[in-house]
Structure 1
Amino acid sequence: MILAPSTLDLFAFGEDRLLELTEQHPTAFFAYDLDAARRRFRRLRALLPGRVRLAYAVKSNPGLPLLETFAAEGAWFDCASAGEVSAVLAAGGTGSGMVVAGPAKSERDLQAALFAGARIQVDGIEDVERLHTLHSGAQPLRVSVRVNPASGITETATIIGGGGPSAFGVDEEELDAFLAEAARYDRVRVTGLQVFAASNELDAGRLLDNHRTALRIGRHLHEAHGIDLDLIDVGGGLGVRYAAAQPNLDLRALGAGLERVLAENPWFGGELLLEPGRWLSAPTGVYCARVVRTKVSRGERFVMLEGGINHLLRPLMTGQSFPTLAVRPGVGVIGGRSASGQGGELVPTTLAGPLCTSLDRVGNGDLPEDLRPGDVVVFGQAGAYASTQAMTHFLSHRPPEQVWVQDRAVVSVAPVVSA
């Protein structure tokens, strides 16, 4: 291994395979390793208590081969639209292993969830009212309520919003009034809770503090309202590194901590639900885009790529760059400590796309000083919040391909399409 292992860990494929992929497929494209996805699911499952269910957050990457892989492993699924519900059913998932969330669920979303038999997470009394009308079963429809905690929430990067104002859920201080009003609708019954308060968190202790907050709220529902909760959904937030210097999330500490959280709450006899999306899918994918030209403008070095925010929007939205390296077709990884010895020193670079807007920036990275047209920039951790989060139709450029790999063989190639 020529590249430092801590650096190469940020990419789904080794140096040789990256070279093969960039030579065999025209850029721009995403490539995903389904075997890596399967290994990650099994590893996480093995480290968690038996009462903890894993629901893959489809929003992170709804690719059908990936959904099929997780369905075959017995995963649950966290869906946020009728389109995601349909995708999970097409992949072999079932409604009994599905939760449906969202702050502004349409009637179509609710009907899709009801048709599938999924657990619906209500964000307000409006959801309860509509479900009371739509549900026609003989027994009351069991739902979960999403709660926006008033305190006890920590988040390293403020993406979800911590305990502040939120478009999601019922504010904790309004929860008693909500439950009193919801009790008027006899065809709907609150038997579950969701508290989701972090995103890409690398500190297991912070996650566990948030989970204790969810159990605290659940205990109030149990003691003050007599609700025997069958499901407490503590959301996702399991983080991945975007830089070699960052630590890995300590999964053993998370698993052991969840055991303690459950032991601390003997009143709760139901199941706990985790919704990892990014942790399961991000490290399985890379995005590859060919260099079109380079320039220096007033002291800042730019590299223009075939793809921009029409393929990879998240760096612009969050200010967080994906890790990068460069591949030269016919040579291999270049720059720094690469095996080829080509590419020169790594220098700070602004990565821009082909779109006619100054907003088209896909991050910053240290790339070889002699990077040239035809070289390929590879973005790591691109299996989540990448292809389907982008502005694919903006300026009508060709959409990137998605290349799915299993046992080192390409099993599927398809363009990115919107739901």
Structure 2
Amino acid sequence: MAGSWLERFAADERHPTPCAGFDVDEALGAYDRLLAAFRGRVRVQYAVKARPDDELLSALARRGSGFDVVSPLEIERALGAGCPPRSLSCSNAFAGRDELAHARDRGVLVFTADTPAMIERLAAARPAASVFLRLAQEHVTGAAIPLGGRFGCPETEAVELALLAAARGLDVAGLSWHVGSQQSDPKQWERAVGSAARVARRLRRRGVDVPRLNLGGGMPGTYRSRTPSVETYARVILAAVDAHFPPPHQPELVIEPGRALVADAGVTTASVKAVVRRPWGTYVVLDAGLWNAGLLDNLCGIEYRITYPGHPDGRAVRPVTFCGPTCDSLDSLTAADSYRAPVGLAAGDRVAIWSTGAYCATSALVGFNGYPPVPQFVHAPPR
């Protein structure tokens, strides 16, 4: 990232703080690296919820990416970016009749279901649609944000849902799952592929093929905790698919990255408002925090990397707690291992909060305590 647009943005004092920058080129680089790691064996459906900027969606569509969408607005954004309807997948397994009707009218063909009620709604609203059956992922470890509970059905129920879908005239597109957001353990996909293989074998005996596996999202961004490389994830996943689905039953693969493509393409810059020293610790109050900068993933244990433009490496540091500008006690960045800031950090100095490209722009609260969402600057390549 040395010399990148993001580094230049973070150090550019012409931008009043707080502000956030996003580099579409960085996201495209992550997209290309993902495809290369999977040796061209996956089709990418970018999860629009992670970052829905028009410039990003248009650039990904030109690259050939499809999109994972869950709402009418996300469908409109994806179509407006130039993505054809056939390249959209609606993964909202709880979509209502009006939402399904909107998707139908816009030409969306691929959906997700994990209950009989959703199968029936889909068959009524979108006859002959393709449907992925979402498998439950209980007892998953390694994810900052687990996605169990209301998402996914057990293996036995998935078999019955696939048979119901076929009986209602729907095309069984395959099986899907999600092993949790910011998943640090590639082997969780091994478990999921094994579960899918058991369902696929039972379905084949009932005359229903499983042509595709949707690997879901979950691959991580780069925060304070180290995670494996994208190449490691790809190697583990492809090995699991080859072991559990030998020819002639090898399925096509779909993947729905969000955070993995856009987290590292963003940076938030802030200024120090105050340094407060108490007998029990030092607090650095910033003009960007959980609420106005959308750093809400910190509440789930994700710790953003922080650097200090203007303070060279190697200077003395001390443990600090970073706080946002509001009077809410939750508006601080928690850390298992305390952040360490330069001893000389003072009011007016700038800090850079890295890997804020995913979810931050859309989850910032509107005007809490009178602080508006942090302005976003998007750097996009020329068309």
TM bracket (short chain): 0.7 to 0.9
Residue 207 (structure 2) aligns with:
226
Match of 1:141 among 129, 132, 144: 129
1:39 pairs with one of 29, 34, 46 = 29
Q: CA deviation at 1:60?
A: 1.4
Q: Secondary structure at the match of 2:267?
A: strand
Choose which of 27, 37, 51 in structure 1 pairs with 2:17. 27
Which of residues 189, 192, 197 is equivalent to 2:179? 197
What SS does the corresponding residue of 1:282 show, helix, strand or coil? Answer: helix
| Contact 1:149–1:172 (CA under 8 A) maintained in structure 2 | no
In the alignment, is residue 175 of structure 1 matched against residue 166 of structure 2? Answer: no
For 1:239, the equivalent position in structure 2 comes to: 220
What are the equivalent positions in structure 2 for 1:291-310 lying under 5 Å apart? 291-310=272-291
Give how far 1:36 is off.
1.3
Match of 1:289? 270
Does the CA-based 8 Å contact 2:135-2:158 persist in structure 1?
yes
Q: Which moved more, 1:287-296 or 1:355-364?
A: 355-364
Conserved in 2, the CA contact under 8 Å of 1:222 and 1:228?
A: yes
CA 158–35 in structure 1, closer or farther in 2 if over 3 Å, else same: closer
Rounded Cα–Cα distance in structure 1 between residues aligned with 2:287 and 2:36: 41
> The residue matched to 2:92 in structure 1 has which SS?
coil
Q: CA contact under 8 A between 1:240 and 1:248: conserved in structure 2?
A: no
Does the aligned pair in 2 maintain the 1:201–1:237 contact within 8 Å?
yes
Q: Which residue of 2 aligns with 1:341?
A: none
Residues 199, 216 of structure 1: alpha-carbon distance in 2 compared, 3 angstrom cutoff = farther
User: How many residues of Structure 1 are paired with residues of Structure 2 in the alignment?
Assistant: 376
SS in 1 for 2:223: coil
Task: Name the CA distance, whole Å, in 1 between partners of 2:191 and 2:164.
Answer: 30
Any idea what SS the aligned residue of 2:308 has?
strand
Q: Note the alpha carbon deviations across 1:209-260, whole angstroms, 9 max, x for none.
A: 433333333333333x3222232111121123312x6244251562475166
Contact 2:197 2:244 in 1 (8 A): no
* CA distance in 1: counterparts of 2:312 and 2:343, whole angstroms: 8
For the residue of structure 1 that corresponds to 2:269, the secondary structure is: strand
Amino acid across the alignment from 2:213: I
State whether structure 2 residue 116 is matched by structure 1 residue 125.
Answer: yes
Q: Distance in 2 between matches of 1:148 and 1:46?
A: 29
Map 1:40-59; keep pairs closer than 5 Å.
Answer: 40-59=30-49
The equivalences for 1:364-375 within 5 A come to 364=335, 365-375=339-349
Counterpart Cα distance in 1 of 2:317 and 2:107: 51
Conserved? CA contact 1:335–1:345, under 8 Å:
no
Q: Are the equivalent residues in 2 in contact too, given 1:207–1:237 (CA < 8 A)?
A: no
Check if 1:258 corresponds to 2:234: no
Q: Deviations over 1:79-116 (max 9, x none)?
A: 12222111111111122112111243233432233223
Amino acid at match of 1:128: I
- Structure 1, residues 320-371: CA drift from partner, whole Å, max 9, x if none? 22110122xxxx3x1533xxxxxx4222221111222111113452222222
TM superposition shift of 1:125: 1.6
Counterpart contact for 1:198–1:236, Cα < 8 Å: yes
Contact 1:29/1:402 (<8 A) preserved: yes
Give the whole-Å Cα distance in 2 for the aligned partners of 1:103 and 1:260: 26
Match for 1:282: what amino acid? A
In 1: Cα distance, 2:346 partner to 2:222 partner? 28
Q: In structure 2, give the amino acid aligned to 1:146.
A: R
Distance 2:59 2:193 in 1: 28
Q: Is the 8 A contact 1:124 1:178 kept in 2?
A: yes
The one of 295, 303, 313 equivalent to 1:336 is 313
Query: In the aligned structure 1, how far is the partner of 2:19 from the partner of 2:42?
Result: 35
Structure 2 distance, partners of 1:297, 1:214, is: 54
Q: Does 1:320 align with 2:310?
A: no
Query: What stretches of structure 1 of length at least 5 have no aligned partner?
Result: 1-7, 338-343, 412-419
C-alpha distance 84-100 of structure 1, shift in aligned 2 (>3 A):
same
SS of corresponding position for 2:181: coil
1:376 aligns with 2:350: yes
1:357 to 304, 308, 328: 328
Residues 133 and 158, structure 2, Cα contact 8 Å, conserved in 1: no
Letter aligned with residue 376 of structure 1: R
Which of the residues 333, 343, 348 maps onto 2:319? Answer: 348
Q: Tell me by how many angstroms 1:28 deviates.
A: 1.5
Q: Distance in 1 between matches of 2:156 and 2:211?
A: 23
Structure 2 vs 1, CA of residues 126 and 293 (structure 1 numbering), >3 Å: closer, same or farther? same
Q: Tell me, in whole angstroms, the C-alpha distance in 2 between the residues paired with 1:38 and 1:275.
A: 15
Residues 147 and 14 of structure 1, relative CA distance in 2, 3 Å threshold: closer
CA 1:183–1:203: 2 relative to 1, 3 Å: closer
Amino acid at match of 2:217: G
Which of 399, 405, 408 is equivalent to 2:379?
405
Q: CA deviation at 1:385?
A: 2.3
Q: Distance in 2 between matches of 1:270 and 1:180?
A: 19
Residue 54 of structure 1: how far off its partner (Å) = 1.3
Q: Which residue of 2 aligns with 1:211?
A: 193
Identity %: 28
- Match among 252, 258, 261 for residue 280 of structure 1: 261
Measure the CA separation in 2 of the matches of 1:158 and 1:221: 33
Alpha-carbon spacing, 1:396–1:216, altered in 2? closer, same or farther (3 Å): farther
Matched letter for residue 129 of structure 2: L
CA pair 39-141 structure 1, distance change in 2 beyond 3 A: same
Please say if residues 6 and 267 of structure 2, whose CA atoms lie closer than 8 Å, have aligned partners that are also in contact.
no
Unaligned runs of 5+ residues in structure 2 are: none
